[in-house]
Each structure stands twice: as structure tokens, then as C-alpha cells.
Amino acid sequence: MTDVAHARLDFCTSVPHRCASLLLRSPFFLFVIAFGIRATIIFATHSYNNVERAEVFWVASSLAQHGTFADAFGPGTGFTAHLSPAYPALLSLVYRVFGMGVWGNMAQEVLSSIFASLMYAALPLLSASFGLSRKVGGLAGLIGGLLPVNFWAETKGSAEYALAGFVLVLFCILIAIAWRFRDFSPRSALLTGVVSGVALLVSGGLSSIVFSTLCIGFLLSSKYWAKHYLIWALIVLFSTTLCLAPWALRNRLDLGGYVWLRSNLGLELFISNNDSAVANLDDNFASGWFQRSHPYPSSVERVRVLQMGELAYEHEKLQQALHWISTHPSRFTSLSLQRVFYFWFPPMKRLSQALLMGVFSIGAFVGTIQLLRYRNPVGWLCLGILTAYPSIYYFVESSARYRGPLDALLVFLTVYGVLSVFSSSV
């Protein structure tokens, strides 16, 4: 074969490989794939015909119709801090344009799918910020985009899980850059603080990640950088607090007390820790316990919320839950251990989904161990997230939807874990 022929052969084989590599690392390409898959399933199954009128729907409807953050438990149930404010506020804009029927639900599902797709599309950027090959993030984004395992949490839009997952990826990118490049400048702190504040306004459940991450960063700081990091972390906390302050002030004015995140902890603990409670949310539904104990389906409990006020009602439920926990330690321990298992290996409608959720759980810890093994500081970030975020969900009824914000990170760490076992160059 002549040199010209060899050159042509090399060109013909290398160009497709390079194009595939570039596409794999392209956030836009990954977004198109992920959104295309989700939109296809939505419109093929007509899932938008099933309008779920849960707490987010009612608050968003109240905002759209009356401009009030109210009615979490149904029309006429008053001002509330039961939900984090950002997602219902965003969804209210959708309802104002498309209405609160099937068209509004269709737009809601499309919006949620957009956030889920952005979450996976950002993984090449996450990979680069971690100091890894963008191919790792590209492959993880492709797998996550093609396999919407936690489909309801990503597409239904009845809660904020997809948006929270996207914001969490952005938070991880900023933290990784600050840690790896020692960028503890005021500009970095302000940007991280704003993203942290937005994250908490989207989902109060992300608070454990924000605060544990700042603490871990301080513990990892060398003696020289400790002072710089401490100033940086204080600016982050101050910026985060400023973002939350309007929400807390609104709650003081409308509800009579400062609520910085959400007011629902007491109710959730009570529903989940009681003589009638079981570990899984769907089982609590099947037994009728949820319908009897939660103000959303129970007219008796709704009346009590209106009579007592939401904050007093939540405080009472918290005291009842803590009393039961203290007097039933063995039963509480059993429920908590079941919830730990269900968080990482959640029961799903299909066996294939349950198996993949379990694979991504195990794979995420493998990937984290590999990061720590190669002394990558972001390994501690990932370990902190995997430890801190689920902690509250070990004490309340379990549902696969609750791990929705972690889905992209779990896929990413699984892909890295597998690739790093065979090659240290990723």
C-alpha cells in the first residue's frame, strides 16, 4: 500500500473517531440526546394527561392566580412555608402562560425534562473541573441521558428534583475549581454563595451538602491556606444568607416566625415515625396511613392547620415524633435501617430500573474511593455529598424521588469508577 493510501486510510479512520470524541464531550450534543429521549417518552405515553395536584401544584396555582405563596394543602389552607420557594414560583409562570390543565402539565413536564437534560449535559464540565478527562463526563452524560432510570423525578415536574440536580452539579463545579486551584478570591466566594443560596431556595434538602462541604474544605486546607479559606467560606455563608433573607422575612410576616428553608420537618418526621408508619412512602399510601395523617389528603388535619397555624402545627407534630422516637428506640432503628437500604436500593416499578439504581449506588462509592485513592481532593467533596445529603432521608419515609438531585453525580462517579479501575489516565 502506498503512502498516499495509508494517509487516506488513517484519515478515514481517525476523522470519525475524533468527531465521535468531540460530540461525546459536547454539552449541547448530550442535552439534545437526553431531552430527545425524555420528550419522546412523554409524548408517546401522553403522561401529561395525568395532572398531579399535589402541594407544588397548589402553591404554584395560588401564585399564578392570586400572587400568594399559599394553599400547599389545597385551596383555602392559607400562607405556607411547607415548600422551598423557587420551584413553585418558577412553575407559576408556566401556569400563567399555559394554564393549570393538560397544557400546563405538558409544559411542566417539558420544563422538568429540560432541567434533567441540562444536569447530564453539564457532566463534561464537571469532569474538567474535577481534573479528569472530559470523556468521563461525556460518557456519563450519554449514559444518563439515554437511561432515564428515575423517570418520574426527572420528567413529571411535580417537584423540584430535576432543577435541584442541575443546581447541585453547578455547585460541585464551583467548589471543585475553588479547591483545586486555591481560588479563594472574593469573586469566587460571592459566586459560590449565590449558587448556594439559589440551591437552598430550590431545595432545602441541599443545605446539608452546602454546610458539610464548607466544613470539609476547611479541614482539607493546609496551614498556609486555612486563613484564606476561612475568609472565603464566611463570604460564601454571608452571600447564601443574603439570598435566603427575603424568604425568611416573608415567613416572619405571613406566618409569624422565621423559616429559612422549609417548615415541613415536624410533619414528615411524624408521618414516618409512628405506630402505623412503615419505611416506604408507597407502602404508607397503600395502608392508608398517609391519607389519615397528612393535611393534604386529610380534611381533619387541614382543619387543625387552619386552627393552629402552620408553624404551631408543625411544632406539635415534631414533638409527637420525637416523643415516639424516644419511647420506641428499637422500632425507630428498624425503620431507619430500612430507609437507609431503600435510599440506595429503592424499589421501582420495573426490575431493570431497580437494578440500575442499585448499580449506580454501588458504583458511586467505587468512584469516590478511586478519587480518594488517587489523592484527588474532590473525592472528599463527593464523599461529603454521599454522606450528608441522604442523612435526613434516613429518618423520613423513603421514596426514589428523593435521590433525584443525586442521579447525575451517581452516574458520573460510577462511570469514573469503572474506567479508573482499568486506566489511571482518566
Whether pLDDT at 2 is above 60: no
Q: Which of 193-207, 279-293, 305-319, 384-398 has the lowest mean pLDDT?
A: 279-293
Task: Indicate the angle between helix axes 378-388 and 407-422, nearest 10 degrees.
Answer: 140
| Confidence grade of residue 21 (pLDDT, cut at 50, 70, 90) | low
Q: Give the C-alpha distances (Å, rounded to integers) separating 309 from 70, 144, 245, 302.
A: 12, 43, 22, 10
Contacts of 395 (CB under 8 A, 6+ apart): 269, 272, 273, 336, 339
Residue 15 has pLDDT above 50, yes or no: no
Computed over every residue of the chain, the mean pLDDT equals: 93
Neighbours of 128 (CB within 10 A): 17
pLDDT of residue 330: 97
User: Letter for the amino acid at 277?
Assistant: A
Crossing angle of helices 186-202 and 223-255, rounded to 10°: 40
pLDDT digits (tens, 9 = 90+) for 192-249: 999 999 999 999 999 999 999 999 999 998 888 899 999 999 999 999 999 999 999 9
| pLDDT score recorded for residue 352 | 93
**Cα separations (Å) of 175 from 121, 123, 209, 211, 378?**
18, 15, 11, 12, 8
Q: How confident is the model at residue 26 (pLDDT cuts 50, 70, 90)?
A: confident
The alpha-helical segments, DSSP class H, found in 99-222 are: 102-121, 123-129, 134-146, 151-155, 161-180, 186-202, 207-220
pLDDT at 287: 86
Q: Are 398 and 346 in contact (CB under 8 A)?
A: yes
pLDDT in the model for residue 223: 81
User: What does the DSSP assignment read for 192-252?
Assistant: HHHHHHHHHHH-GGGHHHHHHHHHHHHHH--HHHHHHHHHHHHHHHHHHHHHHHHHHHHHH
- Rounded to an integer, the average pLDDT of 156-184 is 97
In the predicted model, what is the mean pLDDT of residues 117-138? 96
d(CA 197, CA 210): 9
| pLDDT given at position 317 | 96
C-alpha distance from residue 369 to each of 117, 129, 335, 359, 363 (Å): 27, 18, 28, 15, 10
Q: Work out the pLDDT band at 423, boundaries 50, 70, 90.
A: confident
Per DSSP, 79 falls in state: B
Helix, strand, or coil (residue 16) = helix
> Which of 46-55, 283-292, 335-344 shows the lowest per-residue confidence on average (mean pLDDT)?
283-292
Q: In this predicted structure, what is the pLDDT of residue 19?
A: 43
Cβ-based burial of 104 (10 A; exposed 0-12, middle 13-18, buried ≥19): buried
User: What confidence score (pLDDT) does residue 23 get?
Assistant: 55
149-164 average pLDDT score: 96
Residue 260: name the closest of 85, 396, 403, 413 by CA.
85
Residue 110 predicted with pLDDT over 80 = yes
Q: For 134, list phi and psi in degrees, rounded to 5.
A: -65, -20
Please give the helix or strand (H or E) that residue 91 lies within, else none. Answer: helix 86-98
- What predicted TM-score, i.e. pTM, was given to this entire model? 0.93
Indicate whether 7 pLDDT > 50.
Answer: no
* Mean pLDDT of the region 176-183: 95
Distance CA 41, CA 31 (A): 16
Chain centroid to Cα 14, Å, comes to 39
First to last CA, the chain: 35
Listed range (138-152, 275-289, 316-330) with the worst mean pLDDT: 275-289
Neighbours of 294 (CB within 10 A): 19
| 235, amino acid identity | I
Q: Give pLDDT, residue 3.
A: 52
Q: Which three cell numbers stand for residue 195?
A: 449558587
**Quick one: pLDDT at residue 6?**
44
List, for residues 252-287, the tens digit of each pLDDT value: 999 999 999 999 999 999 999 999 999 999 888 888
- The yes-or-no verdict on residue 18 having pLDDT over 60 is no
Contact 214, 233 (CB under 8 A): yes
Summarize the chain as % helix, strand, coil (round to 5): 75, 0, 20
pLDDT computed for residue 22 by the predictor:
54
Counting residues of the chain whose pLDDT is more than 90, the rounded percentage is 86
